[in-house]
Amino acid sequence: MAKEYAKEFYESKAWKKCRKGFMQSKYYICEKCGGSAYIAHHKVHITPKNINNLNITLSWSNLQALCLECHNKVHSSSATVDGVSFDENGDLIYSPPHSKNL
C-alpha cells in the first residue's frame, strides 16, 4: 500500500489520468526487460517534501513503465537486507514470509 502521505495523491483523478495515459503511451511494456508493465514508477521518488511538485509527481519525464520484477530490482538496489523486496505499492515483501509478531 502507498505510504500514508502519498495515499491521497495516488487516489487522485490527476494521478490516475496521468498514469493511464503514460502506460498506454508505453503500450504497457516494461522499459527495462520488455515484459508486461503494470507500474508507473517515479524515477525521482515521491517524498513528503516533493509530493506537491507536479514536475515530479505528474511529469512523464519522471515516469518509467516497469513490470513488478524490474520495479522490485530498482527499489532493492537500495535495500540492505537480504530476502526483502518491494511490491507494486512500494511496501516491503519478506521472503521467506515474515511474521510481524516475531
Give residue 82's pLDDT: 62
pLDDT in tens, 25-73: 999 999 999 999 999 999 999 999 999 999 999 999 999 999 999 998 8
**Residue of higher predicted confidence among 38 and 95:** 38
Closest by CA position to 37, among listed 27, 50, 51:
27
Give residue 45's pLDDT: 92
Global pTM reads 0.73
**Residue of higher predicted confidence among 97 and 54:** 54
CA torsion angle for 99, 41, 32, 21 (degrees, to 10)? Answer: 130
Give residue 102's pLDDT: 46
Segment 76-98 shows an average pLDDT of 60
Segment 76-100 shows an average pLDDT of 59
Spell out the domain ranges in the chain.
4-94
Q: In this structure, what C-alpha cell is assigned to residue 54?
A: 507536479
